[in-house]
Amino acid sequence: MVDTATTATPGETPQANGPDQLIIVSGLSGSGKTVALRTLEDLGYYCVDNLPAALMPAFVQALSHSTVGHRKLAVGVDVRNRAENLNRLPQILAELARSDIGYRLVFLDTRDEVLIKRYSETRRRHPLSVDGLGLAEAIAEERRLLKPMLALADRVVDTSDLNVHQLRRLVITEMGLTPGAMTLLFESFAYRRGVPTDADFVFDARCLPNPHWDSKLRPLSGKDAPVREWLESKPEVKQFGDDLLAFLDRWLPRFEADGRSYVTICLGCTGGRHRSVYLAERLAEQLRQRYGQVLTYHREME
């Protein structure tokens, strides 16, 4: 990573006239910008995607001085901006610096063959395809238009070999952590789709009563009140959750004392929508009282 004089990294003294942290996320379409911005939003950032680059200084100043006082901002800037805005980016960033606003510019890159595969799998259209370009030509044109962003980036991340979960972890550990604090991620999943590969702990909730067999509850998830109430009426569900909480209460402080900054706790059930989601949300809510950053991610609902 190359640090510039205008860059403020997490944990630094905040600028008087700007936010504590401003992260500008750019990169190629299909490289994971949406995942990165959603993760930063989970970490408490006020996020805006596809902001016209020319409006960035005014946007940052307005939010920094608003009555709400947003102190952590993230902005997505990509090829959907007008070409003249992208070409003016050095001047726009200089304007931020003159206003004593520190920033980090993160650029997500991906190999062409991986981008082509991702687009073929999702069947999404490339933003530049509207100009009559084929996919390979659209990617090449996008690289040309984003050269000013790439040249100014403080951090370039190649996401070619990263899955969604690995990218989320990278964003959290490199861009979102509060110095000295341990972050917890509770992730729900379906066993039929496999166990998450980045789990530190895995707990199996398939032994618990399953709301799936109630036709009224089946379309809902473990975040919905009727499902929560149904599960909370089952004594074994409460006991299971209490036992997990007692286990984590005992052992998480050991991880923290050992210098761990990030722990992933995965909870699985058959479909990944009811029992595992409910338990992940319940444990996260209980442990937020003791840990500064506690996140949830529901793999089968994304």
pLDDT tens string 91-148: 888 888 887 777 889 999 999 999 999 888 877 888 888 767 888 999 999 999 888 8
pLDDT at residue number 67: 55
Beta carbons within 10 angstroms of residue 214's beta carbon: 14
Cα gap 139→160, rounded to integer Å:
14
Cα gap 122→136, rounded to integer Å:
16
Do residues 104 and 175 make contact, with C-beta atoms less than 8 angstroms apart? Answer: yes
Do residues 86 and 146 make contact, with C-beta atoms less than 8 angstroms apart? Answer: yes
- 78, two tokens: 């990509």
Confidence check: pLDDT of 247 > 50 = yes
pLDDT tens string 34-56: 999 988 888 888 899 988 888 88
pTM higher than 0.85:
no
Do residues 205 and 276 make contact, with C-beta atoms less than 8 angstroms apart? Answer: yes
